[in-house]
Amino acid sequence: MIGVVLWSDPSDRKAVFWCEDQGDLAFFDACGPTMDGMPFFDAGDMVQFDVHMEHKLRRAHNPRLLQEHACQGLPDTLRRNTPDKAGVTAQHSAEIIRFDPAPHSTAETMCLRKA
């Protein structure tokens, strides 16, 4: 799987990846010696990784850096395009529709194009 790092914590060696299939986010925890001595990922880096489900949570493992800063402004762009929660009125019910990934998505669709 290919993804973009949305968030990372180098001191705890944890990261969250936005996946190319536009499905659930993948969570990475570098526990153990697998990445000792290697620089950790930054938000916006493009990575390739293996993914598996663990207790209804998508877990990434064996990540490899493909390109540093490939989508450097992505986390900030997503924050800016999120509706302001203070101005939204509470709904009493909602219909949640699961997004099924497109069968032919590419890594190029991962990054939002700059205006």
SS (H, E, C) 34-74: HHCCCCCCCCCCEEEEEEEEECCEEEEEEEEEEECCCCCCH
Bridge partners of 58?
53
Does 9 reside within a domain? yes
Establish if 90 belongs to a structural domain: no
Is 24 domain-assigned? yes
Q: Residue 22 belongs to what domain range?
A: 1-32+40-45+69-75
Give residue-wise pLDDT tens across range 7-25.
999 888 999 999 999 889 9
pLDDT band per the 50, 70, 90 thresholds, residue 59: very high
Asked if residue 81 belongs to a domain, the reply is no
Q: How far apart are CA 8 and CA 1, in angstroms?
A: 18
Q: What is the number of structural domains in the chain?
A: 1
Residue 18 within a domain: yes
pTM: 0.65
In a domain, 15, yes or no: yes
Pairwise CA distance, residues 28 & 65, whole Å: 13
Query: In Å, what is the CA distance from 24 to each residue of 19, 89, 99, 103?
Result: 7, 26, 9, 15
Q: How far apart are CA 3 and CA 58, in angstroms?
A: 13
Instruction: State the pLDDT confidence band at 96, using cuts at 50, 70 and 90.
Output: low
Domain assignment present for 98: no
In a domain, 17, yes or no: yes
Report the pLDDT value the prediction gives residue 113, as an integer from 0 to 100: 47
pLDDT at 97: 61
Average the pLDDT over 41-48 and give the result.
93
62: which residues sit within 8 A by CB, 6+ positions away?
Answer: 34, 49, 50
Mean pLDDT, the chain, rounded, equals 78
